Structure formats: structure tokens, C-alpha cells
Amino acid sequence: MPRTPTPKQLRRLIAEREESRGLLIAFEGPDGSGKTTQRKLLKRWLESRNHDVVSTRWASSALVKPMLKVRKKIRTLSIEEYSLLHAVDFRHRVETSILPALWAGKTVLADRYLFTALARDAARGLDLDWLLHAYSPLLWPDLVIYFSMTPEDSRRRIASTRAPHFYEAGQDVTGIDDPLASYGRFIDRVVTEYKNLSVVFQFVTVDAGDAVYRQHTRVRELVEKAERRPWSTFSKEAVQEWLIKANIQGA
């Protein structure tokens, strides 16, 4: 059985990997802001330049998705349960898909990252400190692209395509029967929370009202200029924990 690496070995492993590891890019923004479109365009562009790219979507881990889906459907989740199950999904994806891909030098595009949970759950009334704690140790993205739009525009775009789901519309906290009316009120709070987070976590903003190609050009520029946030400073604990779990001993 391989021995657990010592703290010194872990620090060395991380330092050696800093240059060759992949970039973690998070796409954030209200529903209907065009994150998925831009993520797909960026993926295609990066792949055309011979980058290995992995995408990861919100609430998508094979382990958690089925149980989350059932419980959302029957609307039995309390605010805490909703939040904690998303934290389970996030942690599992970080450990089983995001970190392994980054370690292997692949670029990871996250269609929503933990900021989605922070904004939505804080909008539901949960304490931000507790939320950050539940999601810790944090794996900081190298770049957070925030697709900014007003709550009214988000509501309009959603209304033109579909009725929002119960939890997406925040009906569990607004108590409003009409999904769209509830969404209108809920997204207002979510956008406010996003604005607060954007300062702390240094989001780079893209205007979601711009033409798609213009946004894509801007995203390309941002990615080309993006620099790695050193793991040893920002994400040491998260990476070390994963290295121990994954039994990674060296290159």
C-alpha cells in the first residue's frame, strides 16, 4: 500500500505541477445570460487550438444527480438540504473530475461554479459564512467570467423560453404560486448576491446583452490573458486533500 505523502512532499508536488496544470475557468451569471452558449463556443475554440478541454455542469455528478432530481421533483427539500446536496455534488465533482483533469493539464470549463450556490443559497436566507464553510476547502478558479444582466432581462429571457422549475424560481422561499412571478422576485435577490460576490472573488464581467460573437471575442481575450492563481496560495488545502485521497505520489 503506498504511503501517505508528507506535508513537505505535498507542497513539492503542488509546486512542480503549477506550470503544467490546466486552467480552471468558471462561467457564472443569472439564468438566461448565455453562459452555456459561451462555454460551448470557448470549448470549440480551445479544442481547435489543440487544448484538452473538460466541461463540468452544475448538479451533474453521476452520484448525486439522481437523488437530487427525485427530491427536487417532489419538492421535499428544505433550504439546508437543498444547499447541502448541492455541496455534495460540487465536492464530488471537484474530487473526481475537476482536480484530476486540471492535474493532467486539461482546461476545465465550469458551467456554474460554487458562486451559484453562494448566490442562490444566500438569496434563500442562508448565512454566507456557513455556506463558504460547507464548500471549503475552496478550489479557486483561475478566472471567473460573470455574464451580467439585469433581473428584468433574465426574467424576460426565461419567460420567452420556458417556465422555471420550482426551486429555480425560488418558490420554496417566496411562497408565490406563479413560477414566473416568483422567479422575478427571487432573481432580484440572486443578482444582488452575485454583485457582492463579484467584488470578493474578482469576477470579470461580460455584458450578456451584447451580441453573441462580441461576447465570445471578449471571452477569448480574457482566457488568453488569464493567469494561474497559484494553488500554493489560493487552493493549497483542497489540492492537498485530493492528492492524499487520490494517492498521488509524484509525476
Among 9, 11, 41, 84, indicate the residue that binds another protein (CB under 8 A).
84
- Interface residues for another protein in 188-247 (CB under 8 A)? 241, 244-247
Q: What is the DSSP letter of 165?
A: P
Q: Smallest Cα–Cα separation from 153: which of 22, 18, 34?
A: 34
Instruction: State the minimum distance, in angstroms, from the CB of residue 247 to another protein.
Output: 8
Among 92, 228, 229, 236, indicate the residue that binds another protein (CB under 8 A).
92
Q: Which is nearer to another protein, 96 or 150 (CB)?
A: 96
Residue 130 binding another protein, by CB under 8 A? yes
11-50 mask for another protein (x: CB under 8 A)? Answer: ----------------------------------------
Q: Are 115 and 201 in contact (CB under 8 A)?
A: yes
In the block, cell 422549475 appears at 165
DSSP labels, 88-150: HHHHHHIIIIIHHHHHTT-EEEEES-HHHHHHHHHHTT--HHHHHHHTPSP---SEEEEEE--
Q: Which is nearer to another protein, 93 or 216 (CB)?
A: 93
| Grid coordinates of 115 | 458562486
Burial class (CB in 10 A: 0-12, 13-18, 19+), 20: exposed
Q: How many CA atoms lie within 13 A of 242 on its CB side?
A: 25
Among 18, 36, 47, 67, indicate the residue that binds another protein (CB under 8 A).
67
Among 16, 81, 178, 207, indicate the residue that binds another protein (CB under 8 A).
81
State the residues that interact with another protein by CB under 8 A. 1, 61-64, 66-67, 70, 78, 80-81, 84-85, 87-88, 91-92, 95-96, 126-127, 129-130, 133-134, 136, 241, 244-247
